[in-house]
Amino acid sequence: MDFPSYYLDHVAGGRLIIGLIASLHVLINHPLAVGAYPILTFMEWWAHKHGRKDVDELAYKITFIVFIVTTTVGAMTGVGIWLSTSLFAPFAIGSLLRVFFWGWFMEWLVFISEVVLIMWWFLSWKKADTPEKKKKHIRIGLALSIMSWLTMALIVAVLGFMMKPGEWSQTRAFWDAMTNPLYLPQLGFRTFFALMTGAVFVWFSSFFFTKDTSRLEPKGQRLRKWLVYRLSHVVLVSLVMTLLFGNWYWHNVPEVMKANSAVALLSQQFMGWHSQFASLLGWTLGAFLVIAIAGLSFSSLVPRWALLIPSFMGIWLLGHFERAREFMRKPWVIGDYLYSNAVHKDELAFLQSEGLLKHATYVKHREVTEANRVECGQDIFMLACSRCHSTTGLNGVIEKFGLMYGDDKAWDSSGMLTFIQGMHQTRTFMPPFPGNEKEAQALVAYIQHLRTTREPLQGAQTIGIEAAPLPATAENHVTQQ
Amino acid sequence: MTLSFLLANTPIPRDLPLPLPLPEGLLKTLLVLFFLVHILFVNLMVGGSILVVVAEWLGRKRQRWDTLAHAIAKTVTVNKSLAVVMGIGPLLCINLVYTMQWYSANALTGHAWLMIVPLVTVAFLLTYLHKYTWDRWAQGPKKTLHHAIGIAAMLLFLFIPLIFLANINLMLFPSEWEKVRGFFSSLRIGNVLPRYLHFMAASIAMTGLFLAGWFGRKSSDLSHLPGFARPELRRIFYRVTALVTMAQFGFGPLLLFTLPAAGITPQLYAIIFSGAAVGLLTLMVLTLELRASDEQIGRHYGWICALFTVVVLGMGSGRHVYREAALRPHQAAIQERTQSYAAALAEFQKAQAGKPAPAEPDAHQLFMNCAACHAPNTKLVGPPLTEIAQIYAGNPEGIVTWAMAPGKKRPEMPQMPPFAHLGEASLRKIAELMLEKGKVP
């Protein structure tokens, strides 16, 4: 509430936009960076050891794709997560940065070395023309594999922290934030998932570079067989490990959630997701298993399109995983500390008693009156609801109340008021209403007004900001002197 | 002029209630240093993309320029990756030190800020396309297309810095924020355009200096650049640097004299003018180099780089000194408001703690959780109490069981959310009250 509200009326809270950017980033990072680098380094090493020029050439060509994609879309979607969260939830990313500065700082250093190494590795590949130079070159690939895994290892700590801060809630210490209870299982899950999908990616792209030019000399077939046989092993081993870590991960979550009695219901939400996720994980791993066994048994017969099935299932699984992980965190953006609408846990009662408008920065009025009720309601919507809800669009308040009270009937304002004041009890993924009773009434008035006019709500990036003078209280005597 | 007057129309937000992870002074030093490293690579990326286009254009008549353009293009794709990755450090620092001003500027120019992601991605993909199709698209209409791709990438690189500049500029003037209506209107605040010109000139000058060293170094392999001798390449790029640096003596004062008064201090003038003096010295050494013979040119390269570093450090600190002075009253007001809010909050919490612990909520209070959907006689969201009382007459346990894990009975109504978190004892109280309220009199 102390930042101008960037707001897109039809996509609600920007979760969709952050989600799209983040999912794209993860979909590139996991298979291409974390998964593929070690596999490609292995190929280069093997080629060097056994004098297989063709394997080296194939590894180089696939590295070219990885190089282009990771240094453009991959890098920019990573920055994009940051740029988009700083628009939609500056209070959250700003707080996380203060807690996690060292994590991000280390991640930055690792990221610099990752970028330098990928450029060095790829751009010097053809120049490594003696055995000594080749040995050194393979070591660059090894360092790159380690660094790209480390970037993920560091950032996963932040994700885990947001859901369950663990000891940090009491100690406010950086290391407690890093070693939160979900860290290791999530890291293991992601690591082997990355290797599994990375193997399928290398396998898939090798089809484009192993076409036979002459039927008499089936070099491509020989190369493909070599690759598929080995990648099948990688898929099989990673699959077992993904399953083990996935299992550990979801056995860790409910327990943690149970301990947190205020959001006990969330575990029910989670249980619903749990069974869905379990079956999706099962089917996806099944698809990878079939491919891996087929690759082991009759490698040359596995057609290109068959690899797309586990790939798409993998994308779906990962997307579902990220979405659910984000949802489970609610109503918090930082567990047990900061609600998703920028209200701190410890200031909630204060704001409910004093009023939200009085202490906000970008509002038109400080006090609800008969005349300004709808305008106040709009500001309250922007402050308290707009980080998740749109007005009439996606996840819109009109749609939600329509589901409850019926689209074709009049909505009972006193019923709506009761609902808003108690919604955190009935919809436990929503934060408590952070204002006083008059403000809740103003919000109801705005929603009723919105229902009839359906006027679009513009964000600060379009209509600018308005900041009513602060009332003369102890809080702001500086401006009144 | 008192603080209150200065801040009359200025929004004063509260700061985040978390301490900075490092001493503020250290963070500010890191910000200036990290930023200069970042902007160096941005300069080389932007300036490089311009020089590539110019050299490729010259290459349409004389082939040797085309090969030179290709060689420059190979540096751009590397420098662009370093520009991005080195940008994270200063972004980290500015987010921490100027949290309230920086994020506010981001939000006010929101669409443009978000567009950075696709625009930069497209620009990067175009630079790769440009570089890797150089030999294949070398003739006829394909060459024209190739050149057009280079131009498109350059235009994107010319535009994107404007978004960053708009934000860096806007954050300095909180008293102007209420006037902003999106990115383009933010360009009218402060002095974005002179800053932009100064930055663009610096990009070309830096790239010239970098390329003079890159191609001029003894170990560089010039076999793929037929028609160019090492001294000539050094001279070409020295000349680019010298000419543009000369132009900076026009852009620099323009930037300085259009700066809003908010952050101008004697210290700022001292820093900027000493920086400019060193700049003049650099220009003299550059001229000396340009006049040197083929054998001699390049021997002062180290000196020129060192002098440029001093100039850049001067400009970077000048920039910071201005920002500090411009934001001092705003920062002070934010701190004041943050502290008094924290005090008011603490007082409230103390008063709350002093009150006797709230009694267990009675059945009527508990029922408020249900009242939004269940009314006595009418159907709100769920069935009215009269209907519930009929179904569960003499069976409050039935209501409790249902509320713990509701199913979906009525197709015309939304499914009820579970209430297990209230606990069986409370649900039992509610159930009994419901049956009583629902009794038909």
Per residue in B18-32, pLDDT (tens digit) is: 999 999 999 999 999
In this complex, do A102 and B82 lie within 8 Å of one another by their Cβ atoms? no
**Which residue reads 């170094």 in tokens?**
B217
User: What pLDDT score does A336 carry?
Assistant: 80
User: What pLDDT score does B42 carry?
Assistant: 97
Q: Which of A24, A154, A362, A475 to mutate to test the interface with B (most CBs of B within 10 A)?
A: A475
Strands A332-334 and A338-339: antiparallel
B319-353 pLDDT, tens digit per residue, is 999 999 999 999 999 999 999 999 999 999 999 88
User: What pLDDT score does A426 carry?
Assistant: 80
Nearest Cα to Cα of residue B248 among B315, B320, B156, B319: B315
Chain B segment 15-54 residues within 8 A of A by beta carbon are 15-22
**Residue B13: DSSP 8-state:** P
- For A237, residues 6+ apart whose C-beta sits below 8 A from its C-beta are none
**Nearest Cβ partner for A71 among B3, B81, B89:** B81
**Which residue reads 């600018």 in tokens?**
A464
A110-124 pLDDT, tens digit per residue, is 999 999 999 999 999
Between B164 and A17, name the one with better pLDDT. Answer: B164
In this complex, do A90 and B128 lie within 8 Å of one another by their Cβ atoms? no
CA distances from A391 to A7, A84, A331, A395, A456 (A): 11, 20, 19, 8, 7
Between A378 and A300, name the one with better pLDDT. Answer: A378
Percent of chain A at pLDDT > 90 equals 45
Locate B135 and state its tokens. 């030999």
Distance from CA of A170 to the nearest CA of B (A): 14
* Cβ proximity of B49 and B76 under 8 Å: yes
Residue A309 φ/ψ, nearest 5 degrees: -65, -55
Distance from CA of A453 to the nearest CA of B (A): 23
Q: Does B214 touch chain A (CB under 8 A)?
A: no
B98-109 pLDDT, tens digit per residue, is 999 999 999 999
Please provide the average confidence, as pLDDT, over all residues in chain A: 84
Q: Is the pLDDT of residue B226 over 60?
A: yes
User: What pLDDT score does B5 carry?
Assistant: 46
Please provide the average confidence, as pLDDT, over all residues in chain B: 91
**Which residue reads 């199709």 in tokens?**
B133
Residue B345 φ/ψ, nearest 5 degrees: -65, -45
- Which of chain A's residues have a Cβ under 8 Å away from the Cβ of B104? 3-4
**A396 three-state secondary structure:** strand
Mean pLDDT is lowest, of A64-68, A85-89, A180-184, B183-187, for A180-184
Question: Above 0.95 for ipTM, yes or no?
Answer: no
* Cβ proximity of A81 and A15 under 8 Å: no
CA-nearest residue to A265 within chain B is: B421
**Residue A363: DSSP 8-state:** -
pTM, entire model: 0.90
**Nearest Cβ partner for B333 among A17, A421, A478:** A478
User: What pLDDT score does A4 carry?
Assistant: 95
Q: Is the pLDDT of residue A141 over 60?
A: yes
| Alpha-carbon span B282 to B310, nearest angstrom | 10
B305-342: b (≥16 Cβ within 10 Å) or e: eebbeebbbbbbbbbbbbbebbbebbbebbebbbebbe
DSSP for B348-406, please give it: HHHHHHHSPPPPPP-HHHHHHHHHTT--SSS-SSS--HHHHHHHTTT-HHHHHHHHHS-
User: What pLDDT score does A261 carry?
Assistant: 37
User: What pLDDT score does A198 carry?
Assistant: 93
User: What pLDDT score does A267 carry?
Assistant: 45
Q: At A479, is the pLDDT very low, low, confident or very high (cuts 50, 70, 90)?
A: very low
CA-nearest residue to A401 within chain B is: B381
A438-456 pLDDT, tens digit per residue, is 999 999 999 999 999 999 9
DSSP alpha helices (H): ranges in A51-167? 53-69, 75-88, 90-123, 131-163
Mean pLDDT of the B345-368 span: 85
- Which of chain A's residues have a Cβ under 8 Å away from the Cβ of B381? 404-405, 415
In this complex, do A481 and B4 lie within 8 Å of one another by their Cβ atoms? yes
Chain B segment 155-194 residues within 8 A of A by beta carbon are 177-183
CB atoms within 10 A of CB B139: 9
User: What pLDDT score does A481 carry?
Assistant: 37
In this complex, do A174 and B21 lie within 8 Å of one another by their Cβ atoms? yes
**Nearest Cβ partner for B85 among A2, A73, A112:** A112
DSSP for B295-319, please give it: TTTTTTHHHHHHHHHHHHHHHHHHH
User: What pLDDT score does B112 carry?
Assistant: 96
Q: C-alpha B270: how far from its chain's center?
A: 29
| Alpha-carbon span B364 to A221, nearest angstrom | 77
Q: Is the pLDDT of residue A386 over 80?
A: yes
| Alpha-carbon span B203 to A173, nearest angstrom | 42
Q: At B223, is the pLDDT very low, low, confident or very high (cuts 50, 70, 90)?
A: confident
Q: Does B342 touch chain A (CB under 8 A)?
A: no
User: What pLDDT score does A270 carry?
Assistant: 54
- Which of chain B's residues have a Cβ under 8 Å away from the Cβ of A265? 417-418, 420-421
User: What pLDDT score does B345 carry?
Assistant: 95
* Cβ proximity of A165 and A183 under 8 Å: no
Mean pLDDT of the A246-274 span: 57
User: What pLDDT score does A478 carry?
Assistant: 45
- For A331, residues 6+ apart whose C-beta sits below 8 A from its C-beta are A263, A339, A340, A424, A428, A429, A430, A431
Quick one: which H or E segment has residue B45?
helix B24-58
Mean pLDDT is lowest, of A194-198, A258-262, B197-201, B203-207, for A258-262
Q: At A45, is the pLDDT very low, low, confident or very high (cuts 50, 70, 90)?
A: very high
| Alpha-carbon span B327 to B13, nearest angstrom | 13
- Which of chain A's residues have a Cβ under 8 Å away from the Cβ of B13? 2-3, 361
A13: left (phi over 0), alpha (psi -120 to 50) or beta: left
In this complex, do A349 and B352 lie within 8 Å of one another by their Cβ atoms? yes
Q: Is the pLDDT of residue A136 over 60?
A: yes
User: What pLDDT score does A409 carry?
Assistant: 85
Q: At B441, is the pLDDT very low, low, confident or very high (cuts 50, 70, 90)?
A: low
User: What pLDDT score does A167 carry?
Assistant: 56
User: What pLDDT score does A269 carry?
Assistant: 54
Q: Is the pLDDT of residue A247 over 70?
A: yes
Q: At B189, is the pLDDT very low, low, confident or very high (cuts 50, 70, 90)?
A: very high
Mean pLDDT of the A382-410 span: 89
Mean pLDDT of the A221-233 span: 84
Locate A98 and state its tokens. 């203060």
Q: At A56, is the pLDDT very low, low, confident or very high (cuts 50, 70, 90)?
A: very high
**Nearest Cβ partner for A98 among B18, B182, B417:** B18
